[in-house]
Structure 1
Amino acid sequence: MARKFLYFVASMVILVLAGAFVFRLYGDELMEVAFVPDTEFTAQEVLETNVYADPLMWLARPELVKGNPALWLPQGYEDAEPALPEGKKAAVFFIHPTSFLDKDRWNAPLDDKESQARARIFLRGQASAFNAIGDVWAPRYRQATMGAFLTTKPEGQQALDAAYQDVLAAFDYFITQIPDDQPIILAGHSQGSLHLTNLLKDRVAGTPLANRIVAAYVAGWPVSVDTDIPEMGLDICAAPDQTRCILSWQSFAEPADYGRILTVYDMTIGFNGKPRKDSKLLCSNPINGDIDSSALATANLGTLVPNEDLREATLVAGSVPARCDKRGFLLIGDPPEIGPYALPGNNYHVYDYSLFWANIRADARRRMASFPVR
């Protein structure tokens, strides 16, 4: 039992290190040896045409009711607002973060039970924020393993590129299955948000589809205001009732130490081909629904405080504030008692949705109410 417990603790610590920009920064030689695959990258077989027509290729979609993690709600929770009428709902496309931790391959097999179980845990605490305003579609995809973020090997980027091709295939199928005029909400976290930034650039920018996007929630991934946003096809969500816009935030308790993140970030190139160095990060305040603002804890409608195995959570209101600093990080005051999985530097990446779950839920509803009537 003790051995199993220690394995569980180790796996959960690794879980919060899985699949985000910052994770490259904490991977020392030991982490690389332990988690970066030492095998050659093998190109994945191209998925069969229309493979996402199979409901089993989705963790969440409208037909899936029993066991659908995106339908989860905290025990005893009831929405204060009435349910939206069927004809007024959005279609929500959600891309889950990294849940594959193995080092025997660069991309997750679709039938890997452990990574799929972890992905379901993520969807309960993240995608569930959107289930009041529409049907959530969350594809399974051959995600890059956690080790892809802990190395400079070219195989790491190849794994991410391969995962993105699955996401594109899922999104293209999703678009064919919803009404031509139905509003769309896009959302993701960590590796999922990385793929979402590219999807916005490749599938939304400069297309009629941009007019149908209520909002895109790009949580847990850095987005440059100057070098990324102009290529992503939508404006920044500068007001709480704005639509056709992008939100993004990275959560840190104080004192926040994100210097190493900026070191890596400043070495990268933006979507417009120019260096991101010294450019400001997009900092949306999930409590206020705007940018570069501050909010007291009393304005936080509810933080999800998970239990030990992350399968359930209690909703606690008024416990976590939020303010954007000058560089574009979201600061949440003293470290909250929300769980043991904060990263070095008081980085609360794994809790980007949990910290503001009820406010994100209200934000999506408010933007839906403001979206032009079909």
Structure 2
Amino acid sequence: MSLLLALAAQAAAAQAPVATSPDYSKDASWLCLPGRQDSCATPLPTTALTRNGYGSTGLVRPATTTKVDCFYVYPTVSRDSGFNSDLTVSEETGAAMAQLARFGTVCRTFAPIYRQMTSAAIGAAALGRDPKPWFELAYGDVSRAFAEFLAKRSQGRPYVLIGHSQGSWLLQALIAREIEGKPAAARMALAIIPGFNVLVPEGKLTGGTFKSTQLCTRAGQRGCVVSYVSYRTNNPPPPGALFGYAAAKGVTVACTNPAALGTRGWAGLDSYWTARSNLPVPGGPIQWSTEGAPPTPFLRTEGLVSGRCVNEGPRGYLELRTNVTPGAKWTSRIGGEVGLGGMFIPGWGMHLADMQAPQGDLIRLVEAVAR
């Protein structure tokens, strides 16, 4: 089945009724809350993987005291049969564990359950349907959750926004509509919103998507945005790509390298990988080490992957390369491309690696603003 037919089949199946709005004053409407045993409090068994093979294994647990709060909006994960998801948690749990839970070492974690646009909605939009009604429904939930978070749950503490893909798109709107130029801006320590284009005029740090919120240029800088979309080296965004290519003249897609803010050179990344994923990878399944299968569900690598920011006219992206070392016991390949209908989507780049490849670096950025 071609990609287009696969998307059409998803869209045709989207007939489910829309769930009622969540009540965010109730704990049950939140996927993650501090002090609760949930997706973000589950210890994550993680093994270090180096050039010499598997190393030590540890359990990642939330810190007991932190100075900032993290408000997270998860990416498109729902396969519900509708253009907006129901409020029954399923795939959302895995997303929060892989993308947010580790941030619990440096911040209190908050994640609302919301009626996100489903994979069927993404398919329908790709076929020309207007996603605005589905987007606004999802945004309304996120906006109400954020208002509850600010007024009653965060207790006046500084906060960090964290999202990916659809989550970053929604947080872009939240910054533009509810934060810029308003009291909430004073408490925003940082926004980490990779996986969806933030637009800026070429050579500028502000303007475009945001009026006054600028891109981060150094660790510890407060009130700024970390944003990028990932592409494999020697495979830049093609013209018209959904991610990494700006349609308007004189505008580019923002790129801030989490490992080296404000620079353009290569920098080694501190990565956390979901080692037992069954998602398709170009070239087939990854053999993470010559020593055999991963001993834990998560792996940490430092320096296996390097990244650098590239801006060339309308193109803007985080270029990722694997550092192949002869004789090393770790992998020479990583995944990240999005497979659908038996092929990989060229205009999405290494979308699935956006959070994994530099996650350790992102956590350190939160730690820096907390200091």
- Which TM-score applies when normalising by structure 1? 0.76
Letter in 1 for 2:84: N
Name which of 288, 297, 315 aligns with 1:312.
297
1:363, distance to aligned residue in structure 2 (A): 1.5
CA distance in 2, matches of 1:148, 1:234: 30
Letter in 1 for 2:100: A
Name which of 330, 334, 341 aligns with 1:338.
334
Q: Is 1:58–2:46 an aligned residue pair?
A: no
Name which of 244, 253, 256 aligns with 1:284.
256
Name which of 94, 104, 107 aligns with 2:84.
107
1:341, distance to aligned residue in structure 2 (A): 4.8
1:129, distance to aligned residue in structure 2 (A): 3.5
Q: Deviations over 1:26-68 (max 9, x none)?
A: x9431232211466797x46526xx112222111011422x42
Query: What are the equivalent positions in structure 2 for 1:18-57 lying under 5 Å apart?
Result: 28-37=3-12, 44=18, 47=21, 51-57=23-29
SS of 1:239's partner is coil
Call closer, same or farther: CA 1:348–1:296 in 2, change over 3 Å: same
SS of 2:7's partner is helix
CA distance in 1, matches of 2:263, 2:251: 15
Alignment correspondent of 1:328: 316
1:314, distance to aligned residue in structure 2 (A): 1.0
CA distance in 2, matches of 1:153, 1:256: 26
Q: Deviations over 1:230-288 (max 9, x none)?
A: 33x52211111211100101111122141144478544xxxxxxxx3441211010112
SS of 2:24's partner is helix
Name which of 176, 179, 190 aligns with 1:201.
176
Alignment correspondent of 1:272: none
1:146, distance to aligned residue in structure 2 (A): 1.3
Alignment correspondent of 1:235: 214
Name which of 218, 221, 232 aligns with 1:253.
232
Stretch of structure 1 that moved more, 237-246 or 151-160: 151-160
Query: What are the equivalent positions in structure 2 for 1:1-374 lying under 5 Å apart?
Result: 28-37=3-12, 44=18, 47=21, 51-65=23-37, 67-69=38-40, 71-75=42-46, 76-77=57-58, 86=65, 89-102=67-80, 104-111=81-88, 116-150=89-123, 151=125, 152-226=127-201, 227-231=207-211, 233-262=212-241, 266-267=246-247, 276-288=248-260, 290-297=261-268, 300-309=269-278, 312-326=297-311, 327-334=315-322, 337-339=333-335, 341-342=337-338, 343-345=344-346, 347-369=349-371
**Identical aligned pairs, as a percentage?**
23
1:359, distance to aligned residue in structure 2 (A): 1.2
Letter in 2 for 1:220: G
SS of 1:319's partner is strand
Contact 2:117-2:135 within 8 A present in 1 as well:
yes
CA distance in 1, matches of 2:356, 2:210: 29
Question: Relative to total residues, which structure has the larger helix share, 1 or 2?
Answer: 1
SS of 2:148's partner is helix
SS of 1:367's partner is helix
Contact 1:229-1:235 within 8 A present in 2 as well:
no
CA distance in 2, matches of 1:333, 1:156: 34
CA distance in 1, matches of 2:59, 2:19: 44
Stretch of structure 1 that moved more, 68-77 or 117-126: 68-77
CA distance in 2, matches of 1:364, 1:39: 38
Call closer, same or farther: CA 1:340–1:292 in 2, change over 3 Å: closer
Stretch of structure 1 that moved more, 253-262 or 181-190: 253-262
Contact 1:185-1:214 within 8 A present in 2 as well:
yes
SS of 2:77's partner is coil
Letter in 1 for 2:265: S
Unaligned runs of 5+ in 2: 47-56, 202-206, 280-295, 324-331, 339-343
1:334, distance to aligned residue in structure 2 (A): 4.4
Call closer, same or farther: CA 1:70–1:139 in 2, change over 3 Å: farther
The size of the alignment, in residue pairs, is 320
- Which TM-score applies when normalising by structure 2? 0.77
1:169, distance to aligned residue in structure 2 (A): 1.2
CA distance in 1, matches of 2:259, 2:237: 22
Contact 1:306-1:339 within 8 A present in 2 as well:
no
1:303, distance to aligned residue in structure 2 (A): 3.5
SS of 1:302's partner is strand
Contact 1:167-1:195 within 8 A present in 2 as well:
yes
CA distance in 2, matches of 1:340, 1:45: 32
Contact 2:309-2:319 within 8 A present in 1 as well:
yes
Contact 1:222-1:249 within 8 A present in 2 as well:
yes
CA distance in 1, matches of 2:148, 2:74: 17
Contact 1:71-1:131 within 8 A present in 2 as well:
no
CA distance in 2, matches of 1:329, 1:37: 33
CA distance in 1, matches of 2:224, 2:41: 23
SS of 1:121's partner is helix
Contact 2:69-2:107 within 8 A present in 1 as well:
yes
CA distance in 2, matches of 1:46, 1:305: 33
Alignment correspondent of 2:50: none
1:316, distance to aligned residue in structure 2 (A): 1.4
CA distance in 1, matches of 2:321, 2:265: 11
1:211, distance to aligned residue in structure 2 (A): 1.2
SS of 1:325's partner is strand
SS of 1:323's partner is strand
